[in-house]
Amino acid sequence: MRYDLCLPWYWEYDNVFVGMVERACIEEGISLWQIKPDNLLESITALYKGVTTFKTLLHRGQGEPIFDPIPRWAQEFNVQRINPAELSAWSEDKATMHLEFISAGLFTPYTILLPPFLVEPVIPHIDLGMLGENFVIKPSNGGGGEGVILGANTMAEILDARMEFPEQKYLVQAHILPRIIDEAPAWFRVFYANGETYPSWWDPGTHIYAPVTAEEESQHHLGNLREVTKRIASICKLDWFSTEIALADEFVVVDYVNDEIDTRVQSQAMDGVPDEIMENIAKQLVIIAKENV
């Protein structure tokens, strides 16, 4: 048997998103194969014996090595993979994306790139003057804020930070002070899926989302959020991701590419993604699979 879309997943908070994908598959008339911990061994066995296969992979089993044989099989047999692992690894490298964005003419915070501690344990003197009074220190491959230091202001903090993830490059970035629009900071997280963009207001302190309305987009001239995000998509080549953008003097990309999206929705978690945005993302991902049928 061959399924149109394979969706391996195990995280309990993916359940609403998986339901959205399932409904979208029904609407588009394509078949869905869910692989979960309770049918994982049976499914991998069927896959490797050629009893059951699939045409497109939407992998949500990242972080659990026992799921790894599924994307490995997909790569070996040249099956379509949404956000292929090797492309994700490249785009997740903030140091690489920083240089790519600058080359593409996108605005980013003033940044000093540092080599991994294991490669260069002692670094030359750094002039911190251009970073301002406070700055941000972040590992190149950190996700979910892991290893990020906000409000740093000394060289000692930079040196100590490099030792937390000694195999990673580090970025030391100027803090971006956004404009205030309607008494809220002009800080946004924009979701991208299969050519479509979904901008949201996003509070970096509370992580609470609010979709940018068409009226707000027009009134406050926020259309460039979509343009910047599409330019990022043309660079990273991912099928779906989110990016963090602040409006200061210009639209500044402050957190580059996040591809392992937290799919918790707002109706289930206060800091979840607005339900309608996640529903649209699910539909777009299913369209990718349908076009491969």
**pLDDT, tens digit, 9 for 90 and up, residues 20-54:** 999 999 999 999 999 999 999 999 999 999 999 99
**For 95-107, what is the mean pLDDT?**
97
Strands 240-247 and 209-211 come out as unpaired
Per cent of the chain over pLDDT 90 is: 94
- CA 220 – CA 273 distance, rounded (Å): 22
**For 160-177, what is the mean pLDDT?**
96
- For 225-289, give the DSSP string: HHHHHHHHHHHH--SEEEEEEEESSSEEEEEEEE-S----BTTT-TTSBPHHHHHHHHHHHHHHH
The confidence band for 118, taking pLDDT boundaries of 50, 70 and 90, is: very high
pLDDT on residue 186: 97
Distances (CA, A) of 266 to 145, 216, 246, 263: 20, 20, 22, 10
Q: Does domain 2-83 have CATH number 1.10.3470?
A: no
pLDDT on residue 145: 74
The confidence band for 75, taking pLDDT boundaries of 50, 70 and 90, is: very high
Burial class, 127, CB count within 10 angstroms (exposed 0-12 / middle 13-18 / buried 19+): exposed
- CA 225 – CA 178 distance, rounded (Å): 14
Enter the tokens of residue 14. 């993916």
List, for residues 281-290, the tens digit of each pLDDT value: 999 999 999 9
List, for residues 179-230, the tens digit of each pLDDT value: 999 999 999 999 999 999 999 999 988 999 999 999 999 999 999 999 999 9
What residue type is assigned to position 257 of the chain?
V
Fold of 110-174: Dna Ligase; domain 1 (3.30.1490)
Task: Judge contact between 241 and 91, C-beta under 8 A.
Answer: yes
pTM across the whole model: 0.95
CATH second-level architecture of 84-108+177-258?
2-Layer Sandwich (3.30)
For the chain, the structural domain boundaries read: 2-83, 84-108+177-258, 110-174
pLDDT > 90? residue 64: yes
List, for residues 216-262, the tens digit of each pLDDT value: 999 999 999 999 999 999 999 999 999 999 999 999 999 999 998 99
